[in-house]
Amino acid sequence: MNEAVQNAIQSAQDLHFDAIHILYAAGILLAAIVLGLAVQRLVARQLHRMAKRTATGWDNVLVDALRGSVILWFFLIGLVIILKYVPVRPEALALLRRAVGVLGIFAAVIFFSKLARGVIYNYIDRIVDVPTALFKNSATVVIYLLGFLVALDYIGVSITPLVTALGVSGVGFALALQDTLANLFAGLSILMSRKVRPGEFIRLDTGEEGVVCDITWRNTTIRNSENNLVVVPNGKLASAIVTNTHQPEKEMGLFLPVTVAFDNDLALVEKVTLEVAREVMAVPVLPIAGFEPAIRYNAFTDNGARFSVSLRINEYQEMFPLRHEFYKRLHERYRQAGIRLGVPPRVVTIEKPR
């Protein structure tokens, strides 16, 4: 009877002892979280003040990466204090230490993932001005995969077979998706080089031309003048000869060929042609300040005297209405001035009747 009473008293004391330790642990964790919130707010406020004094955006990247991470770090510090000063049963101590270590690894993974995404956005999206979803997602996957492997190695799981299996499967995956990966890296090269960007008018050596609508990880979509979509694999685009009418600037020269008959007064032809060119360039949507049209005779051909009219347009798409208006007005003015256009000579053979 006395032994049973003593066992009951000992059990109650153990429960009381465990309850006190649980309260201690809860208090330490609560204090760590509150302290983490205070430190995060203080650090964020100081970093924001420093960021306002600088023109660069890299300090904002650090501020965004620290948001939420500081609290998690103080939570881990609280767990370490609990394991050091609060008695824990030996069989659970090793397991808890490994759990805290794994949490620390993933806390570092979360921080570096945020930091990498911020760096990618700050450099590529704002400086290079290209979409960054693919870069951000790829960086996040790589960082989390490395963190997972480090965590496995920390808890004692051998990662050598896993790394070997990933390497072998990666080679097979690359061979199976060779064309897809070629388009992927070609797309990355196109985006990073900034030679072709959405909204620009391009012309390929194969004849396709139009406005670039989108550049994805696999292909580039072009809207042509017929309002149809032309889908070009990135690998084909990267190896093609591309004329980009928007670079280095959208404004460009336009040279229109004209041929007049030899019996015309070439001075009169020059005068009338320049008058028409100035009229066309004076259209409200087309004028370019400081530009003066010019003509240059460049050859005597079988059809007559050939020259080029130098005009200027704001962008490539303006070429079609301007060329239409110029030739229409020029034909009318030539007819009024009695200027004959050059025509190919014709040989007429007349046979005498027998």
DSSP 79-119: HHHHHHHS---HHHHHHHHHHHHHHHHHHHHHHHHHHHHHH
The shares of helix, strand and coil residues in the chain, as percent rounded to the nearest 5, are: 60, 15, 25
What is the topology classification, in CATH, of domain 189-244? SH3 type barrels. (2.30.30)
223-232 pLDDT, tens per residue? 988 889 888 8
- For residue 185, the number of C-alpha atoms closer than 13 Å in the C-beta half-sphere is 7
Q: What is the CA angle 62-68-70, rounded to 5?
A: 75
The answer for residues whose C-beta is within 8 angstroms of residue 206's C-beta and 6 or more apart is: 240
- Partnered with residue 309 across adjacent β-strands are 256, 295
Q: Do 271 and 302 contact (CB within 8 A), yes or no? A: no
Query: Hey, where are the domains in the chain?
Result: 2-156, 189-244, 252-337
> Is residue 313 classed as helix, strand or coil in its secondary structure?
strand
- pTM comes to 0.53
The answer for residues whose C-beta is within 8 angstroms of residue 332's C-beta and 6 or more apart is: none
- Mean pLDDT value across the chain: 77
What's the mean pLDDT in 288-301? 84
Q: What is the Cα–Cα distance from 340 to 303, expressed in whole angstroms?
A: 11
CATH number of 252-337: 3.30.70.100
pLDDT score recorded for residue 216: 77
pLDDT score recorded for residue 97: 78
Residue with the larger pLDDT of the pair 260 and 113:
260
- What are the two backbone dihedrals, phi and then psi, of residue 184, each rounded to the nearest 5 degrees? -60, -50
Calculate what percentage of the chain has a pLDDT beyond 90.
11
Q: Which of 15, 32, 28 is nearest to 83 (CA)?
A: 28
User: Residue length, the chain?
Assistant: 354
